[in-house]
Each structure stands twice: as structure tokens, then as C-alpha cells.
Structure 1
Amino acid sequence: MYSKLVEDLDGLPALLDAARAQAGELLAGVADRPVAVPPGTFEPAELPEDGVGARAALAEFGRRWAPGFAASAGPRYLGFVTGGATPAAVAGDWLTAAADQNPVSSLDSSASDLERETVGWLAKLFGLGPEFSGAFVSGATMSNVVGLAIGREWLGERLGVTVADAGVAALGPVEVLSGSPHSSALKAMSVLGLGRSALRPVTVQPEREAVDVEALDRELAALGGRPAIVIANAGTVNTVDFDDLRAIAALKAKYPFWLHVDAAFGGFAALSPEHAALVGGLELADSVCVDLHKWLNVPYDSAIQFSRRLDLQVRVFQNSAAYLGHPGDNPDFVHRTPESSRRLRALAAWCTLAAYGRAGHREIVERCVAHARDLGDRLAGTPQWRLLAPVRLNVVCFTLAEDPTQERIDAVVRAVAAGGETFVTPTVYAGVPALRAAFSNWRTGREDVDRIFAALVSGSGAA
């Protein structure tokens, strides 16, 4: 055995203690470190011929790389929709690495049963019944890929074609209808061979991102009975707008379509009694996407996909190899998603759900919503900023009050990031260059909103 491996194996407890101490330092300072660190000049090092051992490698990471990491796990990182990681989720993720289980097969461990239990817990959290099966995937993009792949197979079933065998060309033209699809849905369509051009945009409601259901009705009628896929949104990225899922699902009585709901982070509205109506009808979907490294606050990467047609899912993703076994009535995860091997993502989710339950995660959701409303009210009361949409849940979409050009918005983004107090991402809403602040971190408190607001007011001076 290589000498450095022997040394590290002999000193493994001390090595893990050193890693714990280094991680503890990272997390202890996460509220005070610069929230974003604009990258500098990058010069890659040469691959070492002889290793330095794990302790020295940890020290090298601390010297070269840790200072340049964003404090994205901290309370004032509002870019994209980025959760942190609860203490229980961090602990679960460490155990995931230590146990190093591959849960796609149930032949050798209980890991797949842990995932099944966690999937069941999450289904109840989102109000999905026992007719739904689910599996962990890497993120919302892959969840959309899986859901739309099952929808693609459903199209084939309606047309008498087994797409998994015959290929997507056997379907002929495919129509995918949506009002405000996320970019990852278009990526999924490209990956699946449907093509981005298969999207048929549907009119949205005035000053909304939610689809006009009457317009959707007309678009479906124009297909003349040909089956289609409808992508509905439970929380758009700019304004967290929600399609009327019940009204859309009701159209299935008249038209044949697969209803895929992208609830990447908006699905967590189900935890709050005040906001649960926003996802009313989620249980009527055929497939559902939810991203867990957002509002569940588990480490990257983690998402889940749900579907009510496990048979079609297995038809698409089955891995036909003698050593993997036949799918059977309760197929292993190797037959449910694109991956034939992956880490036990479910463990971090299981830990945080076991540790804090529905009540703890409901408190996180409701607190984030309260902070978003607070920031929205403050920005609306300033002469520098104006809101572009109501704060419906946890995202504030806003722009400069005067002359909001892309150049000026970009200057603000750079100034705010350079200040180190917070980080927000640019967007364009209704043709207007803008900013969006997404609250989804369990650490964020009222004092952080004070600092975020001050940084945005100060950053507006760079425009």
C-alpha cells in the first residue's frame, strides 16, 4: 500500500478531527466572511507526482482555495435560490461520505430502504398520495429530465409507440406547452431529443408569470386531439408566481396531455398554512420536480422527482443487466433514474427531516417569506428602487427607480458583490433589467435584512 495511504489510515481519527475543525472554522465565520468573492487570476498547479498526505492537503486547500469560496451557506447570500445546510443535514452528509453507500441496488444494504422512507416523508410534506413514486436526483434540471422523459414515454403510449425502444423520432412532432418555463426545462427538452423548438409558449396573465388557462385551453384545442406535454409552474424564478394547477388539471377531462409541474422551490409553500393554497392541485400532476438543496437546506447536490407512472419510468430507465436483477414490482433505483451509481443523497434529507420535522422546516419557510416581505417593503419605500412584482413568497424582484439599463444593473451587481455584505443575481422581467433577492437560508435573521438593505442602497450609487 502506498506509504501516504498507510499513514493516513493509521491516523484516520485524527485526520477526521482535523477536517471537522477546518469545517467548523468555515461555518463559524460564514456570517462574517465576504458573501461573494469575485474570482481573480487563476493559475492551475501541476499534478503532484508524490502526494503530500491528507493533513498537508487540507492545509493546502485552506491556503489556496477556501479564501475564494463564496459564503453561500451564510445568511446573506441571496443569489439564485440557494439554501444553506442545517446542522443535521451537514452531519448526515458527512455520514454519507463515510458510509459511501450506492443506494441504486437493494442487494447489499438498507440504503435504498432509507431512500424509500425519505421519499415517502417528502411526498407527505408536499401533499402527494401513495400513487406517487419518487427518487433522488442531482438537482431540478435532472428532475425535469426524468419527469419529461416519462412524459415522452406517455406520449408514445398514446400513439402506440415505445419510445424507449423505437427512439424519439417515432413520435413525430411533439408539442410542449407552458407559460413561463424554467430554462432547465428547455435544457431537458434538448437532452431528450424533443428539441427546444417543441415549446409552444402560452400567453400568461397580465402582469403575471402565471399561464392564462383559457389561452392554454385554446392551444390544446388547436392540437386536434394529439397528445401533448404541459409544463406548469409552482413558483417561477423571478416573481415566484404559481400556475392554477387545479384549473390546468381540469383540462385533462377534455384534452390528452401529460402534466409536469416544476415546483423546484415553490413546492415548499405546502409547509405553510398561509401559502399552501398556492400549490393546491399539485397532487393532480403526473410528474413533479422539487429541488431540495434550495429550501430544504441540505447540501448540494440533492433534488427529488415524483411520478404516478412508475411503469413508464422503468421502461425508460431500466438497466438490463443480469447482475442488477429484474425490476420487478418494487424496482430498485437503478431502474428509475439515469444514474447507475450515486451517493446516498437521501441521508442528509432524512437527517434534517428527522431532526426538525415538519414544524421546523415550516418555520424556516415562514421566516424566509417574512424576510422577503420586509426587504420588499423597505425597497419600495426608497427613492432608488422600485418593485417589479409583489412579493408572493421568498423572492424580491426589483430594479432601479430611474433608467434601469442593463449596464447600470450590472454595475450594481458588481458593486454589491465587491462590498461583501450580500449577493444578488441580475435578471430581466417584463423586458426590464432587474435584480432578484431570494431568501431560502435557515440562518437568515432580521439583523441580516438590515445589512442586506443597507448594502443595496449603498450599491445603487454605483449605477
Structure 2
Amino acid sequence: MPDHTKRAHPARENARTDPAPADWSPETLRAALGRASQWTIDYRRRVGEFPVFPAIEPGQVRSALGERPPKEPEPFERVLADFDAHIVSGLTHWNHPGFLAYFSSSTRAPSIVAELLIAAVGVNAMLWRTSPAATEVERTAVDWLRQAVGLPASFSGLILDTASTATFTALLAARELAGTRVRADGLAGGPALAVYTSEQSHSSVEKSALAAGLGHRSVRRIAVDEAFRMRPEALEAAITEDLARGVRPTMACATIGTTSTASVDPVEALAAVARRHGVWLHVDAAYAGPAAMVPEQRARFRGWETADSIVLNPHKWLGTSLDCSVLLYRDVAPFRESLALTPTYLESEDDETDLMDIGLALGRRFRGLKLWVLFRCVGTDGLAGTMRRHIAMAEAAADRLTEGGVFELAAPVSFSTICFRAASGGDPATEDRRNREILARVNAGGRSFISHTELGGRYVLRLSVGSVHTEERHLDEALEALHRAAADLSPGEPA
């Protein structure tokens, strides 16, 4: 019989004689962190000097990065230099004080430090036992947010990546609660389902219906009033019509702070309609939800406490770094029933605290830490103060923007968002072209970045104050650029 005890296996022999390259030494890590931290401080100090939007062509950054991966390690200082030279110059700078285009995702300094700590510990918070503190920090931070925005203790929740994921997760719970048995039997042969949302709601509602297998035709876009708010009587009519056709109403989505205009749906009235028909009510407050911390804004949220689920994004107005989207719910059971699936190797006695059972993802980042750090380092008064200042800045900017009649509001100013257009009384197509050119000229200037939307079939300019770095002087620059562009493009001049 051959003697296997005296010869090492070739792979094991190689493992002893040819070890894998070691990680950086503590000294190398310390030096790299020092360089990275100094770069971060310098960047935040000079971010306003960059063009908000880069003047580059598609593929330009990629061509500078090299076609093949390097075989040998390079010093971090060289990597950092290339990052600064080739990558930063190709960024749209969301932390720029002139970033007024979308709902801002600027980053407060404490969140940057928290991200470093998250990367350093590198935990996966899928189960309570895989990192007990990560689960409990997340639950604490989410509950602090709940308290800060004035929601009752009947709500609990967790942190997901984005509002789109949160809405999708809520729809799966609503679909299961509607008695469709989709988890067990799939959609085939089941009743037709319907989802109701405003004409002004975010596209993530439709996308969630697609991903959940309901199909695009399942989405009912409910009409809005003159202030772009969903009409409760139109929701009632749509649900009644579907019930008569044998379609099962599944979820209604109301919005507090719509993407285009930041309009606020009448949640209290919509909730009454949803309750009457046993329909799940989801509230998309991704942008504006944190503003419930501001006492004088709290009345705008009346009725959201009756919702089945709510989404708020601290990575927007609160200045927590991407990604950090909080999904709140009054009953966890439908969420677990829709997706919970625990293989034997992950079973534990702590299943009730395992956040992996809510949502599609198994692996979970330690997102709760940066929200906890944010509350500790800024406080609810500081957070509310920033939002109050942004709202006041937007209201003042709207008044200045419309002085003299060059610009007119296209929607009521809501929270910190302004929708407006240059109007001349000419034909609609010419006016739309003029507004497109005004936006292009302002954005090409590099100092301010605004966006656009469409309301009533007309092209509309849009400005939203939300960056923690934006001050009055930056709004002054944007308003001056807008008036200058409008003056250069007189109503009778072709754009």
C-alpha cells in the first residue's frame, strides 16, 4: 500500500513556498489614510472651484484609466494622483454648493468619517449573530429617525440602499397581504392586480410593479389637481372600477414631496380611501420626509401616521452619504411572509431580529452606523435648522426670480423646490426652446447646475436647494445666470 503520509500534496506545498501577497503593513495603511484624509479635506475646501458638471465626452475618463489591469502593485500616492487627475475631473460634483439640479445627495463631514469606520470593521449585518451591534445600531438609528419626524412607536423599520428598493419591498409585502399566494404559487393564474399612484409620482413605483411581475398595465396613474396633488375622488373611482372588473387593488402610493414639483398629496384623505377598500398605503417621503423634523412643516405630513409603510432618504436632505434609505412599517409580518427564506446554515434562535428577512438582499452593509453618527454629531436641532434654512432660501429665491416678470412660477413653491419658466406669451414650442436654451447656458457656465421637468406638456425649469454646502451667495450666482441667459435670449430671438 502506498504511503501517503510522507508526501505533501503539491497544492499544499505551493501554499507553503509561494504565499499570497500580504496586505499593506500598518505603516503603509497609516500613510495612505493620511494622504486620503488630506485629499478629502482639500477637496471639500475647493469643491466650489470645479465646474458642477464636467465638460467631457463619453469614454474620455475610461480611455485615461488603461485597458488592462496592472500585474504589479503600485504605490497609493500614484493611484491617488491618477484619481485626482483623471477621475475627479470627470465627476458631477453633488457636493458643489451650486448643485441645485436634483434632490441633493451632499455629504456631511461626520458621515465621511462614519463610512471609514464602516469599511474598517467590514461587517455583514445579515443576521443578528453575524454582527449583533450592527443590527442593534441600525434599529436604534431608525427609531431615532422615527421619533425625530414625529411618527408613533407602532412603526419600526430598517435601512435599505435606495427608495426604489424600499418601494419595491413594500409592494411585495402588499402583494402577499392581498391574498394572492404569489410566494407559494407564483403569479400565473392568479387575479389581476392593480397599483395606484399619482401622475406626478416617482418612476420607481412603475418600476417596482415591473419587477414584482405585475406588469406595466397594472399601474393606474391617478389624476392630480392644479397644485399637482393626487385627487382622492379619482383614486376612489379607479379602485371602484377595478373591483367591478375583478381586478384586485393591491397598493396605493401617496407622495410627500414629488420629484418634479415637491407637491404633497392629501395623505389623510387618500388613507381614508385606502382603508375603506383594504388597500395597502405606501407613502413616498424620500425627499421631504426628514422635513417633518421642522415643527412648522409638520402639518404637511398629516395622515402619514396611518400608512402601512413609509420611505425616507437620509442620504438626501440630511446629508448622510449614499446609500441610506429608511423603510418604516407598522406590521413586519407581511414583509417576512413575502421574502423570508432561511437556509439551514443561517438558522439561529434570533430570527426575529434578522434584518435579512426583509427585502431581497442577503448581505447588508453597516449603514446604521452613519445615521447614528449623524444624529450624535449634528443633533436633531442642527438637522432641522439646515432644512429650515434651505426652505427659507428657496422661498426668497422664488420671490427674486419672478420679480420683473421675466420668469413665472409653474407650480407652487414646495419645501425647497422651485419650478419656473421664462414666458413671453409666444407660441408654446418657441417658449419651450427658449427655456431649454436658458438651462443649457446656465449649466454650461459651470457655477450652477439646475434641472428641468415637464408640467402640463410644457418644458419647465427646476431648482432645488438641498446641499449642506449651499449658501445665499450660491443662489445669487444661479439667479444672476438665469436672468443673464433670459436677457441674452429675448423672446423674439430664435433659440
Which sits farther off after the overlay, 396-405 or 59-68? 396-405
- Aligned mate of 2:251, from 223, 229, 241: 229
Shift, 1:50, TM fit: 2.2
- Aligned mate of 1:209, from 228, 247, 251: 228
Shift, 1:326, TM fit: 5.0
Instruction: Please tell me the residue identity of whatever aligns with 1:45.
Output: G
**Aligned-residue CA RMSD in angstroms?**
2.0
Residue of structure 2 equivalent to 1:17? 34
Q: Distance in 2 between the 1:210 and 1:258 partners?
A: 19
Residue of structure 2 equivalent to 1:57? 79
Shift, 1:348, TM fit: 1.4
Residue of structure 2 equivalent to 1:319? 341
Instruction: Please tell me the residue identity of whatever aligns with 1:181.
Output: S
Residue of structure 2 equivalent to 1:290? 312
Q: Distance in 2 between the 1:23 and 1:166 partners?
A: 52
The 8 Å contact of residues 52 and 94 in structure 2, kept in 1 or not, is answered as yes
What secondary structure, in the 3-state scheme, does the structure 2 residue paired with 1:169 have?
coil
Matches within 5 A, 1:355-394: 355-394=377-416
Matches within 5 A, 1:80-91: 80-91=102-113
The 8 Å contact of residues 420 and 460 in structure 2, kept in 1 or not, is answered as yes
Which sits farther off after the overlay, 137-146 or 41-50? 41-50
| Identical-residue share of aligned pairs (%) | 28
Inter-CA distance 390–28: structure 2 relative to 1 (3 Å threshold)? same
The 8 Å contact of residues 128 and 350 in structure 2, kept in 1 or not, is answered as no
- Aligned mate of 2:148, from 125, 134, 145: 125
Shift, 1:422, TM fit: 0.7
Residue of structure 1 equivalent to 2:188? 169
Residue of structure 2 equivalent to 1:411? 437
Residue of structure 2 equivalent to 1:140? 163
Instruction: Please tell me the residue identity of whatever aligns with 1:278.
Output: R
Report the TM-score when normalising by structure 1: 0.93
Render the CA deviation track for 1:120-177: whole Å, top value 9, x for unaligned: 1111123222322211111111111111111111112xxxx42222223354211111
Residue of structure 2 equivalent to 1:182? 202
Q: Distance in 2 between the 1:239 and 1:6 partners?
A: 50
- Aligned mate of 1:431, from 457, 464, 470: 457
Report the TM-score when normalising by structure 2: 0.87
Inter-CA distance 59–273: structure 2 relative to 1 (3 Å threshold)? same
Instruction: Please tell me the residue identity of whatever aligns with 1:425.
Output: S
The 8 Å contact of residues 376 and 396 in structure 1, kept in 2 or not, is answered as yes
Residue of structure 1 equivalent to 2:66? 45
What secondary structure, in the 3-state scheme, does the structure 2 residue paired with 1:105 have?
coil
The 8 Å contact of residues 409 and 426 in structure 1, kept in 2 or not, is answered as no
Matches within 5 A, 1:189-338: 189-205=209-225, 207-224=226-243, 226-325=248-347, 330-338=352-360
Shift, 1:406, TM fit: 4.4
Q: Distance in 2 between the 1:231 and 1:218 partners?
A: 16
The 8 Å contact of residues 320 and 326 in structure 1, kept in 2 or not, is answered as no
Instruction: Please tell me the residue identity of whatever aligns with 2:303.
Output: G
What secondary structure, in the 3-state scheme, does the structure 1 residue paired with 2:353 have?
coil
Instruction: Please tell me the residue identity of whatever aligns with 2:233.
Output: E
Instruction: Please tell me the residue identity of whatever aligns with 1:183.
Output: S
Instruction: Please tell me the residue identity of whatever aligns with 1:148.
Output: L
Shift, 1:19, TM fit: 0.6
Inter-CA distance 181–57: structure 2 relative to 1 (3 Å threshold)? same
Instruction: Please tell me the residue identity of whatever aligns with 2:285.
Output: A
Q: Distance in 2 between the 1:170 and 1:40 partners?
A: 49
Aligned length: 457
Q: Distance in 2 between the 1:291 and 1:343 partners?
A: 16
Inter-CA distance 69–174: structure 2 relative to 1 (3 Å threshold)? same
What secondary structure, in the 3-state scheme, does the structure 2 residue paired with 1:453 have?
helix
Is 1:153 aligned to residue 172 of structure 2?
Answer: no
Q: Distance in 2 between the 1:20 and 1:435 partners?
A: 37
Where does structure 1 differ by over 6 angstroms across 4 or more consecutive aligned residues? Answer: none
Q: Distance in 1 between the 2:380 and 2:242 partners?
A: 43
